[in-house]
Amino acid sequence: MAACHLTFQLGRAETAPGDGVVVVGGHQTLGNWDPASGLKMSTDENTYPVWSAKLQVPQAAGRVEFKYVIDRRASGEGFHWEDGDNRHITAQAGAWQQQDEAFGVPG
């Protein structure tokens, strides 16, 4: 079975030092809606406020719903879920990039 290589890129997520961003959704590789088990995104001083993460899923995953969540556990604030409808992506064989404008902005 062919795999789907996904790159998630979030164009703007303004965070405080110590915060993180995770992709959480309806697939085991996205934590099955548990933000503590979601896909951790990364950024650095050269790319902030852009966050990104890579993932491989079986093509059979089909349509997967997800949200971006800011992880503020380091400051004792827990998780901050973006508002609005769930985002979605359809896993197909090959390499795909999911680009979203910003945290909380519908894509």
Contact partners, residue 8, CB within 8 Å, separation at least 6: 23, 39, 41, 52, 53, 54, 55, 97, 98, 100
* Average pLDDT over every residue of 72-88: 94
pLDDT at 20 (0 to 100): 96
CA nearest 66: which of 41, 47, 45, 44?
A: 41
The pLDDT of residue 107 is: 64
105 has a pLDDT exceeding 90: no
Rounded distance between C-alpha atoms, residue 17 and residue 97, angstroms: 27
Amino acid, single-letter form, for residue 9: Q
Contact 64, 27 (CB under 8 A): yes
Between 34 and 99, the higher pLDDT residue: 34
Give the global pTM. Answer: 0.88
At 17-67, the pLDDT tens digits run 999 999 999 989 999 999 999 999 999 999 999 999 998 877 666 788 999
